[in-house]
Amino acid sequence: MSDIEIARKAKPLHIAQVAAKIGISEEDLEFYGKHKTKISLEPGEAKGRLVLVTAINPTPLGEGKTTISVGLADGLSRLGEKVCLTLRQPSLGPVFGVKGGATGGGYAQVIPMEDINLHFTGDFHAITTANNLLSAMIDNHIKQGNELGIQTVEWRRCLDMNDRALREVDVALGGEINGIPRRDGFVITAASEIMAILCLSENLKDLKRRLANIIVGYDKDGNTVKAGQLNAADAMAIVLKDAIKPNLAQTLEGTPAVIHGGPFANIAHGCNSVRATKLALSLADIVVTEAGFGAELGAEKFLNIKCRKAGLKPSAAVLVATARALKYNGGCPKEETNKENLGALKKGIVNLEGHIANLKRFGLPVVVAVNRFITDTEAELALIKTAAEGLGAKAFVAECWAKGGEGCLELAAEIARLCKTSTPSLPLFSYAEEDGIDKKIEAVAKNLYGAGNIIYTPEAKEKLDKINASEYKTYPVCIAKTQYSFSADPNLLGRPTGFDFVVRDLLIRAGSEFIVAVCGSILLMPGLPKVPAAARMTITDDGEIDGLF
């Protein structure tokens, strides 16, 4: 049975019943039908323990990190724990591009699957609109006399779709009535600073403060021009007033799932919202959350940015791995990863080793979840478990795709034990706030990625010097690079070391309060593949969708 068929056969609870499991009354719910709702409740004092689910470097095969997150939450619920799952929302770009749906799989899914993968409660649309409202106000200001003397515009428009043709565009063409012609471009909504701001804001007041601090461009003297100077912050906040409220859905087994925010980890900070996480921690005893892509991306940013900013103290990290991904990292061709290959698996174990070591650098207890596929052999699973435990991390085979929470009971029992016996504390951050931006990049690139030389393009070096001489020096760094490798080169698999790490650009995000370091050939607006997932999707005359997975 396919994922979508399993989801359609589900008999979900009314969302009010799901909310009641973690103590939310109907008065604090804003219903979007029977199975999804906004939560208007403000986060209270944290009482729960936080568990991070991350993974080895992803491959084109898919590793099932969300599937494990859902299965773990369901497993904890089966053990009698008061648990809440917190996830990011999928972006339409990957849904219609390569990835397809992003709501888990098999019997470990969040539902309503079709709604969550498509428009859900409209948060991405609100973020896109707020972003482009600011763009419209910038160009209107310039057209109407440019009182602020804007010389260069840094702010770009956005769209929640993979559309490479919009990476560079010319705007205000067609005559003087349309404004002053200039070169512009789009980023995908997940990379918009508005997305990061929404996910890092504590409340509406904090949201407005951050929106006002967005740098939209520079005047002729090189001084920043901010959104607050255009009187745009309140207008954007009005558009986002509902989007800032977390969304509640459920797993197939009725476990509460707070789903809110969706920045990518390869081009943004890769975590769901602070509000969603803090709200869950104030309601549940154990909160399972997820960070995007591999641990060197999503987990690093979750720990160095989100935990630092929000004071979050995770109790454990679950590192998801698969036999076929490790074989791929060991040199096995993609089309042969479903065959037993212990030699390639042994070589690929270095990728697992690197991620375990990195998570331990942050002071976290690490548990490995081996996401089982039907083609995995007992010898391969045993090899991964033995290797992980030799690296100081207990390993469990998870079969939640086929069995739901029942297939994750051993992993869940270990996580519950760690949550009850460990003392949560702030992570051991990779760098100090007072370090220069170059020192922060070096700390991540050399200590976590394994890089040798850090090389700056002339443009990046000029920006680095300016940032280090400014108040923005204290910001954490958000490194934008490929998800497929520890390096910035997607072809360097396994555990490369000593490679040159090239920083192409540095972007000040004064609203989200971090510095984006653009490395390698990473792009902030992805493109569609030769045969996009959209080309394989269908909808019947009765409205039944197929092909989201």
HEC secondary structure over 520-535: CCCCCCCCCCCCCHHH
Strands (E), 46-123: 49-55, 83-87, 104-105, 108-111
Residues near 378 by Cβ (< 8 Å), separated by ≥ 6? Answer: none
Residue 370, beta-bridge partner list: 321, 397
Nearest to 232 by CA among 156, 122, 132, 160: 132
SS3 at position 212: helix
What is each CA distance from 126 to 158, 256, 386, in whole angstroms?
A: 11, 24, 48
Q: Which residue has the tokens 């009354």?
A: 25
Residues near 29 by Cβ (< 8 Å), separated by ≥ 6? Answer: 15, 16, 19, 37, 38, 39, 40, 248
Residue 108, beta-bridge partner list: 105
What is d(CA 402, CA 11) in angstroms, rounded to the nearest whole number? 18
| Residue 367 and residue 394 in contact, taking contact as beta carbons nearer than 8 Å | yes
Q: What is the dihedral of CA 428, 429, 435, 437, to 10 degrees?
A: 160
What is each CA distance from 160 to 97, 103, 131, 135, in whole angstroms?
A: 11, 18, 11, 16
CA angle 217, 214, 514 (to 5 degrees): 110
Residue ranges of alpha helices (H) inside 330-454 are: 342-361, 378-390, 400-403, 409-421, 437-444
Nearest to 340 by CA among 329, 321, 327, 354: 327
What is d(CA 74, CA 366) in angstroms, rounded to the nearest whole number? 20
Number of neighbours of residue 459 by Cβ within 10 angstroms: 12
What is d(CA 481, CA 298) in angstroms, rounded to the nearest whole number? 11
Amino acid at 365: P
Helix (H) or strand (E) holding 434: none
| Residue 198 and residue 171 in contact, taking contact as beta carbons nearer than 8 Å | no
| Residue 59 and residue 314 in contact, taking contact as beta carbons nearer than 8 Å | no
Residues known to be catalytic: 65, 67, 88, 99, 265, 293, 373, 401
Joined together, the tokens standing for residue 56 give: 């080895």
Amino acid at 116: I
Joined together, the tokens standing for residue 525 give: 């607006």
